[in-house]
Structure 1
Amino acid sequence: MNGFKGNKQFLPIKICPVCLQEFTWRKKWANNWLVVKYCSKRCRIEARA
């Protein structure tokens, strides 16, 4: 998946457990996509509260 240059509709999708919104793969998550759980920093902080 590293260096993706194609149709964005085929990117992997996950659902954030805090806000229940879908979020797609990003290049900065290429090395740890399997570990990513939250769509944003805000949701990650709210999950701890």
Structure 2
Amino acid sequence: MAHKKPHLPQKICEICGKPFSWRKKWEKNWDAVKYCSERCRRSKSKT
């Protein structure tokens, strides 16, 4: 069975540098998303 969503947009996390894909919960503010996870978002002031 093939993956149903192979062409989702991706971004690079500003903190860890890892790529992350679009998620439904980010649908309305995808342009403002900068971090791949809550952990990276919280550590933004430490770097």
Is the shorter-chain TM-score for this pair beyond 0.5, marking a shared fold? yes
**Where does structure 1 lack aligned partners over 5 or more consecutive residues?**
1-5
Could you tell me which of 17, 36, 39 is aligned with 1:39? Answer: 36
Is the partner of 2:20 in helix, strand or coil? Answer: strand
Secondary structure of residue in 1 paired with 2:31: coil
Cα RMSD, aligned residues only: 1.4
Percent identity, aligned pairs only, is 52
Q: 2-side partners of 1:15 and 1:48: how far apart?
A: 18
Larger Rg: 2
CA shift for structure 1 position 17: 1.1
Partner of 1:8: 5
Q: How many residues align?
A: 44
